[in-house]
Amino acid sequence: LQSNKTRPVAEQFDWVQSVDRLKVAQRLSEQRPAALPPLNICLQVNISAEPSKSGLLPEDVPPLAHEVARLPRLSLRGLMAIPEPGPGALAQHRAMAALFEALKAEGLPLDTLSLGMSADLEDAVMAGSTMVRVGSAIFGSRA
């Protein structure tokens, strides 16, 4: 999510799964209307360290998670990642689950681990994902 696009998101959505910078989180919190419940947030993690993907490296997640959890108009709900396809995907799912559990052990009240899409949802669920994104299974592949 680009910081210059936060206002319409803060005003119109209930969930954002792509927060990876404190500046974006702060803007979402400041721009969230008081009449609405806090905006549900998942931090985006680049679990595969792919240069083409956005997201935090795993070691950068804990400090940002604690900062975001203190923002008044946001509700930090969990983590989101898109593991690299292939034989290493299950290990990446498990690494995300371990990071999720470590953050919970630090006192963060997380309940959402968003892993997996249509092609890898079984591995994601086995690793502990509580939310999967199954767009192509429903709507078909992109043209």
pLDDT for 7-39, tens place per residue? 999 999 999 999 999 999 999 999 999 999 999
Q: Measured between alpha carbons, how far is residue 131 from residues 59, 85, 110, 122 in Å? A: 23, 18, 13, 12
* Residues of the domain holding 79: 3-136
Q: Give the pLDDT score at 119.
A: 66
Angle at 37 between CA 35 and CA 43, to 5 degrees: 135
| Residues 6 or more apart whose Cβ sits within 8 Å of residue 35 | none
Domain count, the chain: 1
Flag whether 124 is in a domain. Answer: yes
Distance CA(90)–CA(123), nearest Å, equals: 6
The CA distance from 24 to 71, in Å, is 11
Q: Supply the CATH number for residue 12's domain.
A: 3.20.20.10
Residue 142 located in a structural domain: no
pTM for the full predicted model: 0.87
User: Is residue 35 in some structural domain?
Assistant: yes
pLDDT at 46 > cutoff 60: yes
Does the residue 30 lie in any domain? yes
